[in-house]
Chain A
């Protein structure tokens, strides 16, 4: 197999790499909630995988827990509350916005603003330098002209 083809196959298959459980749902909405929830909850053993992706035993147990709670008619919020009561905010891939997580949520915006300010400052300084150079060039031209005129008269 050509290397490029092999890479393509690997990339495509990675999208399908999910832990597989066979679960029956009452309706498609319930299944959708199950799928979004399991892909928003962190597997605490592997930490950088969601419980939908992970094959760890704890992830399987938590998927079962989510499924059972959905079957009991619990809402999405109930399940999120259940998980954070036990594992803390860390279990959520999307942590809630509060004082403790403020830096996490606002950090990127702050850095973007800092970057914009830096760009503005640099651009302004460059412009000023260019304007100054222009001014000097004009002065030089004027001096030359005056000198030339002086020679004539």
Chain B
């Protein structure tokens, strides 16, 4: 009897592991930044390059940090969702214009709408490295104390906003 049960058991164990492996998203890498202070930057603003922004300027409010670029195709997909979120004015949205040409970036915002309270420029990708950015778009949620509380990789969908972002933002604003 064991002769027949053993291979079956082995097969089931393997099938379970393979099924888990197939359903994991290899691009979903847990961020080591979670619950740590937001990486420091002091970067020129996209629309007024003579002014600079640092995370300290945002202390006391919950903010989203959205990494985007005009060359990024999935950002285009995500953009209407961010526009919609911006209209609700529930949260400050800061954009990180990642490795982009400022003229192209400004043009992008003019034609597609600007959901960002402020966008900052990261032309050589150094801020991106500090935040562990490896694919655009990425979205971080930062709490009032300036800690990273959530990271989303890939385009944010309407469902993500409803199910994850809005509840989390409400919770963090209440803290």
- The answer to whether A binds B is yes
Residues of chain A touching chain B, judged by Cβ–Cβ distance below 8 Å, are: 44-45, 47, 57-58, 61-62, 65, 84-88, 90
B32:A44 contact, CB within 8 angstroms: no
Q: Does B167 have its Cβ within 8 Å of any Cβ on chain A?
A: no
Residues of B within 8 A of A44 (CB): 29, 134-135
| Residues in chain A near residue B27, CB distance under 8 A | 47
Give the distance in Å from the alpha carbon of A88 to the alpha carbon of B133 in the complex. 11
Contact indicator A88/B134 (Cβ below 8 Å): no
A89's closest neighbor in chain B, by CB?
Answer: B32
Which B residues touch A58, using CB under 8 A?
125, 128, 134
Supply 24 A–B pairs (Cβ within 8 Å), ascending by A.
A44-B29, A44-B135, A45-B134, A45-B135, A47-B26, A57-B125, A61-B124, A61-B125, A61-B126, A61-B128, A61-B129, A84-B32, A86-B32, A86-B33, A86-B39, A86-B129, A86-B130, A86-B131, A87-B32, A87-B134, A88-B29, A88-B30, A88-B32, A90-B29
Asked if B149 is at the interface of the complex by the 8 Å CB criterion, the answer is no
Residues of B within 8 A of A (CB): 26-27, 29-33, 39, 99, 124-126, 128-132, 134-135
A100 CA to B107 CA in the complex, in Å? Answer: 46
The complex places the Cα of A62 from the Cα of B132 at a distance, in Å, of 11
Cβ–Cβ contact B129 & A65, under 8 A = yes
A70 CB, min distance to chain B CBs, angstroms: 16
CA of A35 to CA of B52, assembled, Å: 36
Chain B nearest CB: distance from A128 CB in Å?
Answer: 16
Residues on the A chain within 8 Å of B99, using CB: 57
Chain A residue numbers with a CB within 8 Å of B30 are 88
**A87 in contact with B125 (CB, 8 Å):** no
Complex Cα spacing A50 to B136, Å: 20
Task: Determine which of B129, B132, B135 lies in contact with A88 in the assembled complex, contact meaning CB atoms within 8 Å.
Answer: B132
Bound-state Cα–Cα, A85 to B135, Å? 17
Of the residues A57, A85, A87, contact of B29 by C-beta under 8 Å: A87
Q: Chain B residues with Cβ under 8 A from A57's Cβ? A: 99, 125
Q: How far is the CA of A47 from the CA of B135 in the complex (A)?
A: 11
User: Which B residue sits closest to A90, measured CB to CB?
Assistant: B29
The reply to whether B129 and A62 form a contact with Cβ atoms under 8 Å apart is yes
Given known contacts A57-B99, A57-B125, A85 and B134 CB-to-CB distance under 8 angstroms: no
